[in-house]
Amino acid sequence: MASKLEPSAPHFDSVPDASHSAETFIAEKRIGERIRRLRLKRSMGLVELGRHAGLSASFLSQLETGRVVPTLRNLARIAMVFGRDLSYFFEPEPHPLFRLHRRAERVRLPQSGVDDPTYYFESLAYMVPDRQLDPYFAEFVPGRKTAEVRPHVHPGYEFLYLLQGDLQIRHGDHTHSLESGDSVYFDAATPHSYRCASVSPAVALIVTMHQMTPHAAAALRPAPATPRPATAGALPPETAS
């Protein structure tokens, strides 16, 4: 009966005459590079990986650089350290994520839920699936100083870099003034709002991150549960309230 650690796949160490084809196969699958990427992603050294997998650091170093051909048993040991199946090393590598968004393809949308929008925005990553952050190009228009600016909240964090103009950001009970070139990073689970403070529009780059803040569950006013859209017409999290 075949071992669970050794599924049907080329057993290179048991076929001495196949060493050349085995090395070619290993090189094509870039198994050494895959192991190194897994190790570095865990911030793990060769000695630590060897201790978990029962292999020497010297052997692992040669394996990562393609100087030795691994056995399926050794690959299975390494795979288990990283919580992977042995098949991970033989499946086609996924293509790196890369999405280009042309300026002419973006859609300019107004603030939602109001008759007189105080800002307009354009999603800069609407075609990226399962994204972990949302970048926006935002333009805050001058308005009446007496006009009410509605605060909002959303899970995660927000980063704003002011490209031009002056902008006031109210975060909780405090109001902060930003000038061109200033930036701010804040907990978005706290009620916040924006107001253009210059005679010309204030333009900013905004990035919202979906990671939940430590106290998001205890936020004063949690944002309504709305699905994160993935189209050019997506509303940024700050318009959810």
Residue ranges covered by each domain of the chain: 12-89, 103-239
pLDDT value for 217: 42
Closest CA to 160 of 142, 123, 135, 133: 135
- How far is C-alpha 22 from the chain's CA centre? 36
- Could you list the pLDDT tens digit for every one of the 241 residues in the chain? 444 444 444 444 444 444 455 555 555 567 888 899 889 988 899 999 999 999 999 999 999 988 888 888 888 899 999 888 888 888 776 667 788 888 988 899 998 777 888 899 999 988 887 788 899 999 999 986 666 778 888 889 999 999 999 999 999 999 999 999 999 999 999 999 999 999 999 999 999 987 655 554 444 344 444 444 433 333 354 443 3
pLDDT score of 211: 67
| Of 109, 110, 156, the residue nearest 133 (C-alpha) | 156
96 CB burial (10 A radius; 0-12, 13-18, 19+): exposed
CB 237 within 8 A of CB 186: no
C-alpha–C-alpha distance, residues 55 and 188, integer Å: 46
Strands across the sheet containing 192-196? 174-178, 167-171, 192-196
Token couple for 32 = 């050494």
CATH number of 103-239: 2.60.120.10
pLDDT for 12: 43
CATH architecture of 12-89: Orthogonal Bundle (1.10)
| Distance separating alpha carbons of residues 175 and 169, to the nearest angstrom | 6
Note the pLDDT of residue 52.
92
**According to the model, what pLDDT value does residue 47 have?**
94
- pTM to 2 decimals? 0.55
Predicted local distance difference test score (pLDDT) of residue 146 = 62
What is the β-pairing status of strands 202-209 and 133-140?
A: antiparallel
Backbone φ and ψ for 203, nearest 5 degrees, come out as: -115, 135
Residue type, 114: V
